[in-house]
Amino acid sequence: MQHLSLEPSVQSRVNAWLTGKYDDATKAEIQQLIDEKNTIELTDAFYRDLEFGTGGLRGIMGAGSNRVNKYTLGAATQGLSNYLIKLYPDEQIKVVIAHDNRNNSSIFAKVVADVFSANGIYVYFFEGLRPTPELSYAIRVLGCKSGVMLTASHNPKEYNGYKAYGADGGQLVAPHDEAVMDEVGKINTIDAINFKGNTSNIEYIGKEIDEKYLSELAKLSISKDAIGRQKDLKIVFSPIHGTGGVSVPPALRKFGFENVILVDEQMVVDGNFPTVIYPNPEEAEALTLALAKAKEVDADIVMATDPDADRVGLAIKNDKNEFILLNGNQALCLLVNYMLTAWEQAGKLNGNQYIVKTIVTSYMIDKMSASKGVECLNVLTGFKYIGEIMTQREGKKTFIVGGEESYGYLVGEHARDKDAVVACCMFAELAAYYKDKGSSLYSVLLDLYVEYGFYKEKLISITKKGKAGADEIKSMMENYRNQTPEILGGNKVVMLKDYKNSISKDMITGVTEKIDLPSSNVLQFFTEDGSIISARPSGTEPKIKFYCSVKTSLNHTSEFQTAEHLLDEKLMGMLKDLGI
Name the burial class of residue 10, with classes exposed (0-12), middle (13-18) and buried (19+) by CB atoms within 10 angstroms of its CB.
buried
**SS3 of residue 158 by DSSP:** coil
Q: What are phi and psi of 149, to 5 degrees?
A: -110, 125
**Active-site hit among 81, 153, 238, 520:** 153
State in Å, rounded, how far the first CA of the chain is from the last one. 43
Nearest to 408 by CA among 53, 160, 55: 55
Give the chain's count of helices (H) and strands (E).
19, 23
Residue 218 CB coordination number (10 Å): 16
Contact 491, 531 (CB under 8 A): yes
Nearest to 61 by CA among 21, 107, 98: 107
CA 241 to chain centre: 18
Q: Are strands 202-205 and 122-126 parallel, antiparallel or unpaired?
A: parallel
d(CA 170, CA 175): 13
Nearest to 470 by CA among 367, 421, 542: 542
Contact 288, 222 (CB under 8 A): no
Cα 539 to Cα 41, 380, 433, 450, 472, distances in angstroms? 21, 12, 37, 36, 15
d(CA 244, CA 131): 7
**SS3 of residue 502 by DSSP:** coil
Beta bridge partners of 443: none
Contact 138, 96 (CB under 8 A): yes
d(CA 525, CA 546): 11
d(CA 244, CA 137): 15
Cα 560 to Cα 132, 434, 445, 450, 557, distances in angstroms? 37, 20, 11, 9, 5
Contact 205, 65 (CB under 8 A): no
Q: Clarify whether 153 is annotated catalytic.
A: yes
Contact 111, 74 (CB under 8 A): yes
d(CA 579, CA 476): 10
Active-site residues: which are they? 153
